[in-house]
A = this chain, B = another copy of it.
Amino acid sequence: MGDRNLEDSVTTLAWGGDNLKLIDQRKLPFEEVFVECRTALEAASAIKDMVVRGAPAIGVTAAYGVALAAIEYRGSDKKGLLEHLANSIKLLSGTRPTAVNLFWALKKMDKLIKDSKDLKPGQIRDKIISEAKKIEIEDIKINKMIGQNGLKVFLKLKKEKFSILTHCNAGALATAGYGTALGVIRKLNEENLVKKVLVDETRPYLQGARLTSWELQKEKINFFVITDNMPAYFMSKGEVDAVVVGADRIAANGDTANKIGTLGLSILAKKFGIPFFVAAPVSTIDFDTKTGESIEIEIRSEDEIRKVMGRQIVPDYMDVINPAFDVSKASNITAIITEKGPLYPPYIKSIRKVKDGGRR
């Protein structure tokens, strides 16, 4: 896999039977190299250090992290295995606090382990591995359904072609494949409905400038990278027909935590009368969190602000601060596009309906 070339489609992660290969997203688009995780600890570090990022991709990686924990355990006693699995789940859950998919996937694995207590260690391990694979395969399937549903939502806007603004990367790289927000854009492009995509560079980590651009280039979709302070300018010029972003956690009332900058975009879109869409799997909805106010916002390393891909822009002796996410108010979100269809306001009702309809 190390010698993949630019012509290949995007591979975010690849399970190798006893290892998980992750494309190193810190080095894209300049180097396409893979990091190989052979232990739960290595998977946890890859999440924490942002080798892999994006809420759904973090969920899938965490599930495989539990699979690696099951494989790496050398003992033959069940008690020891269960203890090691519990510790590994704890380790993986401590990596990043905001994206709910991490906790969703780990909870799923935890339940599976509890339900399998009467099985033999080897059977437990096999069940864990197959569950992780299932989560991965389902994620791609779900994203394609999100794309389909996104197409329906866009067709209602009755425009010939769309100029779409997106923030951060909610693409194949943020998921097991295809993407959520970029999945919608991919689907629109398949139908020849994309005029252009405006890609926010998304400081500090540059997910837009480095990752979304890389994916769009591969798909041959017309795009421009802009800096994070330019969206209002292009909106005011009538150059944005819709905004589509992903989500890291959606509260039961529709408030949505996503990459820092999304809050500002949602307010600007509302001001300019531009539809603002969140594209995310139902697993991103945190039914237990009533509103966005109680969502924990991760504060990341100051170095991410002070350095841009290793180049120092703010001296170390100066103060910086680095909140990684913000929360957009439900009232500024036109629709939340999920695999179960688009959800519309009032979200308290439409989200409750999804919950009552059962979780995948």
Contact = CB atoms under 8 A, between A and B. Distances in A.
Residue from A210, A213, A264, A271 whose CB has the most chain B CB atoms within 10 Å = A264
Nearest to A325: B233
A321 B199 CA distance: 10
Range of interface residues on chain A? 35 or more
Interface in A197-234: 200-204, 206, 209-210, 213, 217, 222-233
Interface string A165-206: 001000000000000000000000000000000001111101
A310 B313 CA distance: 11
A236 interface: yes
Contacts of A320: 224-226
Interface string A115-155: 00000000000000000000000000000000000000000
Nearest to A308: B308
Contacts of A204: 227
A202 B240 CA distance: 22
A268 B326 CA distance: 14
Interface of A: 29-30, 167, 200-204, 206, 209-210, 213, 217, 222-233, 236, 260-261, 263-264, 267-268, 271, 305, 308-315, 317-321, 323, 326-327
